[in-house]
Amino acid sequence: MQTRPLRRVGWRPLLAAIALGAFALGSRAADVAPPPFEDTMAQRVLACTGCHGAQGRAARDGYYPRLAGKPAGYLYQQLLSFRDGRRQYGPMNTLLAPLSDDYLQDIARHFASLDLPHPPPQAVALPPAELNRAQGLVRQGDPARGLPACQQCHGATLLGRQPGVPGLLGLPRDYLLAQLAAWRQGERRSVAPDCMADVARKLDPQDIRVMADWLASQPVPAGARPEPASPERLPMRCGVLP
């Protein structure tokens, strides 16, 4: 059985077809302009929101805290602490190492300006004795141990105070536990005198647990913001505050 020979196609028509197709594709790509790059702080801090959640709302894993709406002075001091080695976390230390003081202030002001809703509180049920213990430490402190009440510094609403005291509500339980333990063990440090380290060393592990449980279970009212700066003296000296 004989087969018919394949018809040979010349190279010139083939090359012409390829060139025509490439031209058509190029023309079509040129018609679709790339999206404009917005040189804004929101664009630049996308490196932060990869861990801290969209717009700095906090990540779901419980260890990356909320940045949105915190006092700018507090955020700036934490950025400085990571850059200068007082706080240790490899990705943060590396990311901030080349940044100037002015740029860190820009980042802090950006996140502080965001007014975003908080997530629902975590459901934590404390036995009555532990509930009273937590509320007592937060609202009255423990003068016998030289412990001021949390609200004396962090505000009556526990939402922070301008210019540099952060809120305690709206934070995940795991983050609160980790940070209080880090201060107690000397793994987290601040500018001397380090008031939070002094407080944390006077707390025992049970105090830290019940306080973290209670704080994480409290709702944050809609539109809540840090309290304005107050002329009242704080109960102890803090190196990062005026």
Q: Taking 70 as the threshold, does the pLDDT of residue 58 lie above it?
A: yes
Residue 20: Cβ within 10 Å count:
10
- Extract the tokens encoding 166: 């952060």
Q: Taking 70 as the threshold, does the pLDDT of residue 44 lie above it?
A: yes
CA distance 215 to 219: 9
Average pLDDT, the chain: 87
What is the CATH number assigned to the segment(s) 118-242? Answer: 1.10.760.10
Q: What percent of the chain has pLDDT over 70?
A: 87
| pLDDT at residue 26 in the model | 54
| pLDDT at residue 6 in the model | 41
| pLDDT at residue 90 in the model | 94
39-116: CATH topology:
Cytochrome Bc1 Complex; Chain D, domain 2 (1.10.760)
Chain segment 66-125, per-residue pLDDT in tens:
999 999 999 999 999 999 999 999 999 999 999 999 999 999 999 999 999 988 898 888
Which residue ranges make up each domain of the chain?
A: 39-116, 118-242
